[in-house]
Amino acid sequence: MDIAARMDDFGKPAWIGLMVLGFIFFWPLGLAVLAYLLWSGRMGHWRCGRGYWERYHGEHREGRHGDDARERWFGCGRRSASSGNRAFDEYRAETLRRLEEEQRDFVAFLDRLRQAKDKAEFDQFMSDRGRRPEPQPGA
């Protein structure tokens, strides 16, 4: 069993303790532990509960793909583990894809709406400007 796996068994307090002790006794060691935690993604997945690291990376070692860097760093809740039922997992994936597509369409609609409102306000400004009398020089 390697050191990282042993530290993972103890959980977050062990990693924090190792990092603090590293900073206390020899600051480059503490910095190295912090860099390792950030690089390995352990910092981002701590909020998901103990044992998540093993489940998440164990799943990907089996050859499943489809995660992106954003999910690795920010989203333990974004990509949930398989439910064990392939039909349900496919249904969930399709529903999420459809909802993301609807969200993109809605954002595009709001952009077009804002653009139309801006154009109407600008046209109103230009027509009001054309009706104002020109100021007389020297008055």
Report the percentage of the chain scoring pLDDT > 90: 35
| 42 within domain boundaries | yes
Give the number of domains in the chain. Answer: 1
Query: Does residue 15 fall inside a structural domain?
Result: yes
* Residue 98 within a domain: no
- Among 20-24, 43-47, 134-138, the range scoring the smallest mean pLDDT is 43-47
pLDDT tens by residue, 32-60 = 988 888 888 776 654 454 454 455 555 44
pTM for this one?
0.37
Residue 113 within a domain:
no
Q: What's the whole-number average pLDDT of the chain?
A: 77
Question: 3-state class of 67 per DSSP?
Answer: coil
Q: Which domain holds residue 76?
A: 3-81
Joined tokens for residue 108: 């595009």
71 or 15, greater pLDDT: 15
Instruction: Give the Å distances, CA to CA, from 137 to 101, 132, 134.
Output: 58, 15, 9
Q: Is the pLDDT of residue 73 over 80?
A: no
CB within 8 A of 24, min separation 6: which ones? 30
Does 107 fall in a domain?
no
d(CA 91, CA 106): 22
How many residues are listed for the chain in this entry? 139
Instruction: List the alpha helices (DSSP H) in 1-139.
Output: 3-10, 12-25, 27-40, 42-45, 52-61, 69-74, 86-131
Classify residue 86: in a domain, yes or no.
no
**Which pLDDT does position 66 carry in this prediction?**
46
